[in-house]
């Protein structure tokens, strides 16, 4: 079932529940902006999934006794958990889907009796959440909804895209397959006609969007297979067994985080930690390793060891020439 129809069915349910009042066929057609045949298909769908409604020839339709959405009885702990989620997401309320998430939370919390809601609000004041770093994007929310619609309807799109290094603007025609959130940003996986393969594009770098009058067949696309054992997103097509040794100063901190699905940790007698991964590509993990500077040593593979060594040498050479780039 497509996203638009799901939204329309939910809207229909809301209309049929509102105040227990009957709605005529013409009321519903006007509210939903659909034809008579589409409305009857939607009503049939409600009947098939067991949402009971009644019809009166003189009055119209309504749902029986508001039986679909029952009152929600949240406990204090559940209410507190929702408020904590809302508090942690507030700094990101302008991002795709976050505003809708917060709106849903406020509606749920509003159903809680006032004494419990007030107590939970007081408790939340004594708890703080440091927000994660937020990727800056002015158009992500609007793009998300537009692209999701095209994925749902299997409609090709044309975008202009800013390259992250050269700042060049390129135009691409894409069959959009899937939206994916990772590393603090939304990404689109789609078939790029120019390259004849599936590639990844960051929504924040898209500068314009156009829906094309072209449709594509349902793709045989699997996100897990596409990403494979990539460190984050980019599967470079070759697998490596990576072994790293972290010094005692950072060993416990590293071991406490699940960095990758293939991660295995073994502590040594001297307090250091041997951590192994099986990754499809070395570029992304190289940057992560360099972030630990002199607190990590690459044991294998040698190609990764040489890559990290060169990155550190390049950094050293850059810092040996202070101010040379000008200010």
Q: Rounded to two decimals, what is the model's pTM?
A: 0.72
- What lies within 8 Å, CB to CB, of 253 at 6+ separation is none
Predicted pLDDT of residue 138: 67
Predicted pLDDT of residue 69: 53
Predicted pLDDT of residue 67: 56
The dihedrals phi and psi of 179, each to the nearest 5 degrees, come to -95, 140
Packing angle of the helix pair 98-110, 114-125 (nearest 10 deg): 130
Predicted pLDDT of residue 327: 46
Domains and CATH numbers, the chain: 3-66 (1.10.10.10), 76-125 (no CATH), 140-221 (2.30.30.520), 239-319 (3.30.70)
**∠ Cα 179 177 232 (to 5°):** 50
The answer to whether residues 281 and 316 touch, using CB atoms and an 8 Å cutoff, is: no
What is the C-alpha to C-alpha distance for residues 180 and 189, in angstroms, rounded to an integer? Answer: 8
pLDDT digits (tens, 9 = 90+) for 239-290: 999 999 999 999 999 999 999 999 999 999 999 999 999 999 999 999 999 9
pLDDT digits (tens, 9 = 90+) for 113-138: 676 777 777 888 888 777 677 666 66
Which residue positions in the chain have pLDDT lower than 70? 1-6, 18-20, 65-73, 111, 113, 115, 131, 134-138, 322-327
């Amino acid at each position: 079932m497509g996203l638009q129809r799901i939204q329309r069915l939910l809207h229909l349910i809301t209309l049929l529940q509102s105040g227990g009042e009957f709605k005529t066929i013409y009321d519903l057609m006007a509210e939903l902006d659909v034809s008579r045949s589409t409305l009857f298909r939607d009503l049939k769908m409600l009947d098939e999934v067991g949402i009971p409604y009644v019809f009166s020839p003189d009055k119209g339709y309504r749902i029986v006794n508001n039986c679909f959405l029952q009152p929600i009885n949240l406990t204090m702990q559940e209410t507190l958990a929702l408020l904590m989620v809302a508090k942690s997401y507030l700094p990101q309320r302008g991002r795709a889907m976050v505003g809708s998430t917060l709106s849903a939370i406020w509606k749920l919390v509003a159903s809680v009796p006032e004494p419990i809601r007030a107590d939970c609000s007081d408790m939340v004041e004594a708890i703080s959440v440091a927000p994660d770093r937020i990727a800056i994007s002015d158009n992500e929310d609007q793009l998300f909804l537009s692209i999701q619609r095209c994925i749902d309807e299997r409609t090709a799109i044309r975008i202009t895209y800013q390259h992250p290094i050269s700042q060049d603007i390129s135009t691409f025609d894409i069959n959009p397959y899937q939206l994916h959130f990772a590393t603090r940003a939304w990404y689109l996986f789609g078939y790029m006609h120019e390259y004849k393969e599936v590639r990844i594009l960051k929504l924040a770098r898209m500068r314009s969007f156009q829906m094309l009058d072209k449709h594509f067949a349902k793709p045989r696309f699997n996100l897990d297979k596409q990403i494979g054992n990539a460190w984050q997103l980019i599967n470079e097509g070759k697998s490596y067994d990576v072994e790293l040794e972290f010094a005692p100063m950072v060993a416990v901190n590293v071991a406490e985080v699940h960095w990758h699905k293939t991660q295995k940790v073994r502590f040594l007698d001297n307090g250091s930690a041997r951590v192994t991964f099986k990754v499809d590509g070395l570029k992304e993990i190289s940057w992560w390793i360099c972030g630990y500077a002199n607190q990590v040593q690459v044991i294998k593979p040698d190609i990764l060891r040489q890559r990290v060594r060169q990155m550190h040498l390049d950094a050293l050479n850059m810092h040996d020439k202070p101010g040379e780039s000008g200010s």
